[in-house]
Copies of this chain bind each other. A is one copy, B any other.
Amino acid sequence: MTPSQAYEQLTATIRDISMLDSIGSFMSWDEHTYMPPKGTDHRANQQTLIARMSHEQFTSPRVGELIQAVEQSDLIQDPESDAAANVRELRRSYDRARKLPTSLVEELTRTAVMSQSAWATAKGKSDYATFEPWLDKTLQLKRQEAQCIGYQSNPYDALLDAFEPGETAAGIQQVFQPLRQRLVELIGRIGNSARTAPMEVLERTFPAAIQEKLSREAAAASGFDFQAGRLDVTVHPFCQNIGPGDTRITTRYDEHFFSDSFFSTIHETGHALYEQGLPKEKHFGLPIAEAVSLGIHESQSRMWENFVGRGGAFWKYFFPRTQQAFGDVMKDISPDQWLFAINDVRPSLIRTESDETTYNLHVMLRFEIEQAMLLDEIKAHDNPAAWNERMKNYLGVSPPDDAQGCLQDIHWSMGAIGYFPTYSLGNLYAAQFFEQARKDLGDLDGMFEKGEFLPLLGWLREKIHIHGKRYTAKQLIKRVTGSELSAEPLVRHLEKNAKAFYGV
């Protein structure tokens, strides 16, 4: 067999496996949108079967042989070629997957479906006891997974690597430590400011149907292709990539708080624009048609949510539309009041609704707790206490119940331990990319004010989306911005806002 034939066989095999995975993704979307409650068991069986087949096919020795055949050929001479990038990434995933027994993959999959269902119930009733045994079981399985994968000193690294390739807990800690100090200092200054945001303007009655209409308008203006996607309602907003031509986002509507749904939708739109921009039509299922990492993925969602969606230029365009859509509800609100309210900084309970500045403290809290739970230093049973204690220490607030405390996020029920820190990485990447976009594109604000968001999308497509996993996250940020990842752009952005809104 020639190297080219090996590469062709390899990519055909991987496409079939990715096709199976895409069926799993699609079923996952349904679990969070339309699946009837009694369908959970059967869905767990369906997902487990797909996961088993996908894992067995991917870890077959034949795949290893094909990867090796390409690795030993001159097809990978140019490290940026399709073949080189694909094989580099397939080697990574293959070596990782080979370490996991199929039985564990099946158990993780089945548990994730059942546990997410239990979590939704637990959250709905704010009844931690319903969720606790599932979290306990998930932690046990994730410890096994970490043991199988292997690690140097921290089992967390084995899990984190699946979401943010090449990253470690220590590496994250190095970024978080100084960032935390600067955020705490900034939050302190803002807390002492005499100015307070007129939050009441966001807490009026905003009919869900109108919120939805506006969300759709904003998503479409950003470039989301509704012919190749959907917007539905769920408990915990997410974006699900199903395949070429099918990327679905979800949101939730709170009729008495405008920001929750609107910025969730913009956030998920950011994820979706990345998915819709990956070269899937041509390279479906191969690494070069997939997102670099969760951190980079989150940089896209956070950029649209915060750097675009909370900006004055965006609202210059969108405020009159919003005001008109809600009629009398908003007629006495000025654009400045609105802008200040949506940029309000204050310690709060819910991560997804929190402001850009305190947001990262929510992430740091989870990063600490999930590491400690994985090491069995915090038991599943003690998660609420650990959560509430840290909320008090870091943010000075106390959740009135677990629904607004440790049950608020879906991640641990999905088995996604090691996922949270990528949110803060996303904020850092977003800030740095956005500074560069401003440099490259000129008067972004002038464009946004006119509702022109496609130049930014075009830049993201060209600089980031189209490359899939061709470059690693570290290579990509260097390539696009000329620098390593730094906390400075984010801090600059937050300080600029603090100055503008709070005068500090």
Contact = CB atoms under 8 A, between A and B. Distances in A.
Interface of A: 16, 19-20, 22-23, 26-27, 30, 34-43, 45-46, 49-50, 53, 225-230, 232, 242-246, 248, 284
A242 B39 contact: yes
B34 A46 contact: no
A26 B30 contact: yes
A246 B49 contact: no
A48 to B, nearest CB: 9
Contact of A227 (B38, B230, B232): B38
B19 A23 contact: no
18 contacts: A19-B45, A20-B49, A22-B42, A23-B50, A26-B46, A34-B232, A36-B226, A36-B248, A37-B227, A38-B245, A38-B246, A39-B228, A39-B245, A42-B243, A42-B245, A42-B246, A46-B243, A53-B53
Q: How many copies does the complex hold?
A: 2
A226 B39 CA distance: 11
Contacts of A23: 23, 27, 46, 49-50
Nearest to A285: B45
Contacts of A50: 23
Which 7 A-B residue pairings sit nearest by Cβ, starting from the closest? A39-B246, A38-B245, A42-B243, A38-B228, A39-B245, A19-B49, A42-B244
B230 A41 contact: no
A176 B499 CA distance: 83
Among A36, A227, A228, the most chain B Cβ lie within 10 Å of the Cβ of: A36
Nearest to A280: B42
A45 to B, nearest CB: 6
A46 B22 contact: yes
B46 A230 contact: no
Contacts of A38: 225, 227-228, 244-246
Contact of A16 (B26, B49, B225): B49
Nearest to A16: B49
B26 A246 contact: no
Nearest to A40: B245
Contacts of A37: 227-228, 245
Among A42, A45, A242, the most chain B Cβ lie within 10 Å of the Cβ of: A42
A229 B46 contact: no
Contacts of A53: 53
Contacts of A284: 42
A35 B227 CA distance: 9
A230 B36 contact: yes
Given A20-B49, A49-B20, A43 B246 contact: yes
Contacts of A227: 36-38
A170 to B, nearest CB: 40
B36 A229 contact: yes
A37 B50 CA distance: 25
Contacts of A232: 34
Nearest to A42: B243
A38 B230 CA distance: 11
A39 B20 CA distance: 15
A39 B225 contact: no
B244 A41 contact: yes
Nearest to A47: B23
A246 B19 contact: no
Contacts of A39: 228, 242-246
Given A22-B42, A23-B46, A41-B245, 14 more contacts: A16-B49, A19-B46, A23-B27, A23-B49, A23-B50, A26-B27, A26-B46, A36-B246, A37-B227, A38-B225, A38-B227, A40-B245, A43-B246, A46-B243
A34 B250 CA distance: 13
A229 B35 CA distance: 8
A503 to B, nearest CB: 46
A275 B41 CA distance: 17
A50 B54 CA distance: 12
A22 B35 CA distance: 14
Contacts of A26: 27, 30, 46
Nearest to A50: B23
Contacts of A229: 36
